[in-house]
């Protein structure tokens, strides 16, 4: 090979590098993530039982959704999840302030607080169902101890969703705790000292000096909690399967139910599109935040 | 440091603090203590109503033996399935994401920010919007109800997060290393293999731990893409066995411990990497 064509080859492998390095990831991601989003949107304008051919129905699925009581209940529950799950960053922050001390054995204690985060939600759902069980659960035991009749929380239409959210708060709090404890180690001690000289004590120090420095941790904790609460599915499937009488439905579970058990693929797709659109708002905010620092 | 270190406060505060911390810890881990205790409780305790007291007998071997006995429960099969799904998925998504992350971090081509944004956004979308098309595709191409199919899907899906994670790590590396390798005539593939990959090692460890827990703990995709025991991972398997074991809470508890253990062990062994990963990557469910 002469020098010229060797040089050409070298130029080519340089110029095409972005392409061949990205190709495997792009192909897989397009097939299994990007393309299916488009298909679901397309499908949401059809009726389809999953076997024959789909029939175009325009906006009918969406119009039906607005009159579907279960959908409206699910939407309400999603709102409830979103609001109550915000307790996770709050609890996580409080716990992190409580645990941010350097005494012997503290590292082990901290990691014992962290690890519920890595336990899968099936196990967490089982543990909490058992905890709430009106016959043999610990909660029932406590109720009887003070002379009260145990409440079957997961079988109560008004309480089931709250019971599941409490279970969800547990690993989420552990997660937020990890984020905040890492954030606290990065606090500038100079600022803390300067604050002390200016006479800032406990609460005002926390509000004006500590909290602003924890902003990055807060952004991540809140974003992750919002996304997680909108995605909630596993615990509902394990603990109540949406019951009693559909009272603990959320959009993710409603969609699954309609598509898998009622074979209403188009309708299910429409629900998933609504959930997608809700999440796009939060994804966009988050992306804006990340990409801002890129420019 | 905030709050004020105990060492600078009244010495009487210290024992009080330690007692409070331990009390909160016990309360926080109560659900887990309960499940551990139940998993070594004999079945007779459950039937006689001794749910929360001291186990009448130490039945660890009995319960876990029952759970792992292939003649009595498919738990061992589920455990193997989970391993066969998780390890390849983690390996291959790290492999292709380190390539993609490299491309997005090092080359300045048109649309790279858009691609980067696409990988981040894809990581956050609700699973449900993928469910019907992916399931239909799986049925059509014979991937439905196979270990290979589930591993393939996880590889693809985790690529979003992994690319985001690695791209951010590579961007922080000194670009001069790449440039001087180029001056010496190294090809791009060689630069990736001999310059970048070795530097990625700490990031790959962090990412690997995170991906392991994400994939191992998956329930939704197992539920929608698998239907028989031959490909069912342990999360889905456990939820199915709950119906079979019904009130044998000692077995359900032992099964739960087995299902949770790999992620927990990985977390404790590689804790530093795990936490570094969470704060570096920043985000995940």
pLDDT in tens, B137-177: 999 999 999 999 999 999 999 999 999 999 989 998 998 99
- B208 CB near a chain A CB, below 8 Å? no
The answer as to whether A94 is a domain residue is yes
pLDDT in tens, A210-251: 888 898 889 889 988 999 999 999 999 999 998 798 899 999
Q: Which of B132, B187, B213, B247 to mutate to test the interface with A (most CBs of A within 10 A)?
A: B132
Q: In Å, how far is B71's CA from the nearest CA of chain A?
A: 23
Please tell me the pTM assigned to this model: 0.92
The dihedral of CA B78, B80, B84, B90: what is its sign?
positive
Q: What is the DSSP string of A147-158?
A: T-PPP-GGG-TT
The answer as to whether A238 is a domain residue is yes
Of A228, A256, A268, the CB nearest to B285: A228
Burial track B34-52 (b if 16+ CB lie within 10 A, e otherwise): bbebbbbbbbebbeeeebe
Of B2, B133, B157, the CB nearest to A39: B133
Q: Enumerate the domain spans of chain B.
A: 6-68, 75-281
User: In this structure, are residues B242 and B37 in contact, taking their beta carbons and an 8 Å threshold?
Assistant: no
Spelled out in words, what is the top-level CATH class assigned to the domain B75-281?
mainly alpha
Whether the pLDDT of residue B285 is over 50: the answer is: no
How many residues does the structure list for chain A? Answer: 295
User: In this structure, are residues B41 and B250 in contact, taking their beta carbons and an 8 Å threshold?
Assistant: yes
User: In this structure, are residues A265 and B132 in contact, taking their beta carbons and an 8 Å threshold?
Assistant: yes
- Counting the structural domains of chain A, the total is 1
The answer as to whether A257 is a domain residue is yes
Contact (CB<8Å) A178/B278: yes
Q: Which of B133, B167, B207, B264 to mutate to test the interface with A (most CBs of A within 10 A)?
A: B133
Report DSSP state, residue A153. G
User: In this structure, are residues A171 and A124 in contact, taking their beta carbons and an 8 Å threshold?
Assistant: yes
- B12 CB near a chain A CB, below 8 Å? no
Of A25, A99, A255, the CB nearest to B99: A25
> What are the angstrom distances between the C-alpha of B59 and each of A114, B55, B98, B197, B260?
29, 9, 47, 48, 20
pLDDT in tens, B231-249: 999 999 998 888 777 778 8
- B102 CB near a chain A CB, below 8 Å? yes
Contact (CB<8Å) B6/A103: yes
> What are the angstrom distances between the C-alpha of B116 and each of A217, A287, B164, B276?
22, 10, 7, 22
Q: In Å, how far is B111's CA from the nearest CA of chain A?
A: 11
Smallest CA–CA distance from A31 into chain B, residue: B156
pLDDT in tens, B15-51: 899 999 999 999 999 888 888 888 998 888 877 777 7
Of B31, B122, B236, the CB nearest to A33: B122
Report DSSP state, residue B217. T
Segment holding B269, helix H or strand E: helix B249-269
| Domain, as residue range, for A273 | 68-292
User: In this structure, are residues B110 and B278 in contact, taking their beta carbons and an 8 Å threshold?
Assistant: no
The answer as to whether A14 is a domain residue is no
Q: What is the CATH number of the domain that holds A119?
A: 1.10.3720.10
User: In this structure, are residues A224 and B283 in contact, taking their beta carbons and an 8 Å threshold?
Assistant: yes
């Amino acid at each position: 090979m002469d020098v010229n064509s060797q040089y050409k080859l070298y130029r080519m492998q340089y110029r095409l590098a972005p392409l061949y390095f990205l190709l495997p990831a792009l192909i897989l991601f397009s097939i299994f993530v990007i393309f299916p989003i488009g298909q679901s949107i397309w499908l949401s304008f059809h009726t389809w039982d999953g076997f024959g051919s789909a029939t175009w129905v325009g906006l009918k699925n969406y119009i039906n959704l607005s009159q579907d009581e279960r959908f409206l209940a699910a939407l309400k529950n999603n709102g409830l999840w979103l609001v109550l799950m915000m307790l996770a960053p709050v609890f996580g922050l409080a716990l992190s302030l409580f645990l941010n001390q350097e005494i012997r054995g503290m590292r082990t204690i901290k990691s014992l607080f962290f690890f519920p985060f890595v336990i899968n939600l099936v196990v967490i759902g089982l543990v909490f169902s058992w905890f709430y069980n009106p016959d043999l659960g610990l909660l029932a035991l406590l109720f009887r101890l003070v002379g009260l009749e145990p409440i079957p929380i997961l079988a109560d239409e008004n309480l089931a969703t709250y019971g599941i959210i409490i279970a969800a708060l547990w690993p989420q709090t552990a997660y937020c705790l990890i984020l905040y404890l890492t954030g606290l180690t990065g606090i500038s001690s100079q600022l803390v000292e300067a604050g002390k000289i200016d006479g800032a004590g406990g609460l005002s120090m926390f509000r004006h000096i500590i909290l602003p420095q924890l902003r990055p941790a807060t952004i991540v904790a809140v974003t992750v909690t919002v996304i997680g609460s909108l995605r909630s599915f596993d615990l509902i499937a394990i603990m109540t399967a949406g019951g009693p009488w559909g009272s603990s439905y959320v959009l993710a579970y409603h969609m699954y139910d309609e598509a898998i058990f009622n074979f209403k693929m188009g309708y299910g797709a429409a629900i998933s599109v609504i959930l997608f659109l809700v999440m796009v708002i939060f994804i966009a905010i988050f992306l804006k935040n990340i990409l801002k620092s890129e420019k | 440091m905030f709050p004020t270190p105990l060492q600078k406060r009244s010495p009487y505060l210290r024992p009080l603090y330690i007692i409070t911390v331990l009390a909160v810890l016990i309360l926080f881990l109560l659900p887990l203590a309960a499940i551990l205790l139940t998993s070594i409780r004999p079945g007779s305790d459950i039937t006689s109503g001794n749910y929360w007291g001291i186990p009448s007998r130490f039945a660890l071997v009995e319960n876990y033996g029952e759970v792992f006995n292939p003649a009595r429960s498919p738990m061992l099969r589920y455990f193997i399935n989970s391993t066969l799904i998780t390890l390849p998925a983690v390996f291959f998504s790290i492999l292709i994401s380190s390539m993609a992350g490299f491309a997005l971090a090092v080359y300045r081509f048109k649309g790279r920010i858009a691609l980067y944004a696409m990988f981040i956004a894809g990581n956050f979308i609700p699973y449900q919007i993928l469910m019907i098309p992916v399931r239909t595709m799986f049925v059509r191409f014979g991937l439905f109800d196979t270990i290979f199919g589930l591993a393939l899907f996880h590889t693809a899906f985790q690529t979003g997060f992994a690319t985001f994670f690695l791209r951010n790590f590579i961007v922080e590396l000194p670009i001069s290393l790449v440039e001087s390798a180029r001056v010496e005539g190294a090809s791009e593939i060689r630069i990736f293999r001999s310059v970048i990959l070795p530097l990625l090692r700490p990031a790959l460890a962090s990412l690997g731990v995170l991906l392991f827990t994400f994939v191992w703990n998956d329930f939704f995709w197992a539920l929608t893409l698998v239907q028989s025991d031959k490909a069912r991972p342990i999360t889905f398997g456990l939820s199915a066995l709950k119906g079979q074991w019904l009130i044998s809470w000692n077995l359900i508890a032992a099964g739960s411990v087995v299902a949770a253990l790999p992620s927990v062990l990985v977390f404790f062994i590689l804790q530093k990497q795990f936490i570094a990963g969470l704060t570096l990557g920043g985000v995940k469910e």
